[in-house]
Structure 1
Amino acid sequence: MDLEVMDEALHTERKESGKRGRKPGRKAGPEKVDMKAKLERSRQSARECRARKKLRYQYLEELVADREKAVIQLRGEIERYKIWADEIDQGRFPEEASEILKEFGIIKPE
């Protein structure tokens, strides 16, 4: 019997001194205001993050477009040089090539 009374007393004591659970009526007002402010800060941070992400993607898209234009231009240049090489192999010297060489001073103007 003594053991049951002791066990019950300990059980009751633990419930009263425990810090688990929500205490009704404590800090309901300021905590709600803080939560609203925290949510608003979180929303604002998310908006800013999305804006930064959008700018980063726009920058990368512009960079890719510029590089693609450069690649197309260089492919055209390579194709022109291939044609010139074929003409030189056939014993003809392309007029455009001689103009470029004159421009760079490799061939002296006549």
Structure 2
Amino acid sequence: MDCDEMQVIEEPNLSERKETGKRGRKPGRKASTEKVDIRAKLERSRQSARECRARKKLRYQYLEELVADREKAVLALREELERLKKWSTELSEGNIPDGFQQLLEEAGVLKQEQVM
């Protein structure tokens, strides 16, 4: 290409730009609204923290109730296990333990044997 063939493109005049288009924070402006915004932000943060603590408290209460229920179930199963161990030793000795007859009747084992 020759230099003679090149076209010159005119750029807009930079001095015509408006001064209101500056970026960044302007000192001294919106000071009162910023204080209100900061106070509102702090209040929202406090409210969020209160709600978080309330949710945490409910979660711990739920878990404590769950643990208490499971502990009751474990104790009941341990008592049943001890009772069955005791019955097992009595049966191996040839004795019929107290309550064993009633358990068999409730299960229907004795009624079926009596019919046969």
TM above 0.5, one fold?
yes
Q: Structure 1 residue 85: deviation in Å? A: 0.2
Deviations 1:33-84 (A, max 9, x none): 0110011001000000000000000000000001001101110000000000
Residue 6 of structure 2 corresponds to none
Q: Give the count of matched residue pairs.
A: 92
Instruction: Give the greater-gyration-radius structure (CA).
Output: 2
Residue 64 of structure 1 corresponds to 67
Give yes or no for the alignment of 1:92 onto 2:95. Answer: yes
Taking structure 1 as the reference length, what is the TM-score of the superposition? Answer: 0.76
Residues in 2 aligned to 1:54 and 1:42: alpha-carbon distance in whole angstroms: 18
Kindly report structure 1 stretches of 4+ aligned residues shifted beyond 4 Å: none
RMSD across aligned C-alpha pairs, in angstroms?
2.1
Query: Which runs of structure 2 are paired with 1:15-94 in the superposition (5 Å)?
Result: 23-94=26-97
Deviations 1:2-37 (A, max 9, x none): xxxxxxxxxxxxxxx995xx7531220111101100
- Mind listing any 5+ residue stretches in structure 2 that lack a counterpart? 1-21
- Mind listing any 5+ residue stretches in structure 1 that lack a counterpart? 1-16
Identity of aligned residues (%): 65
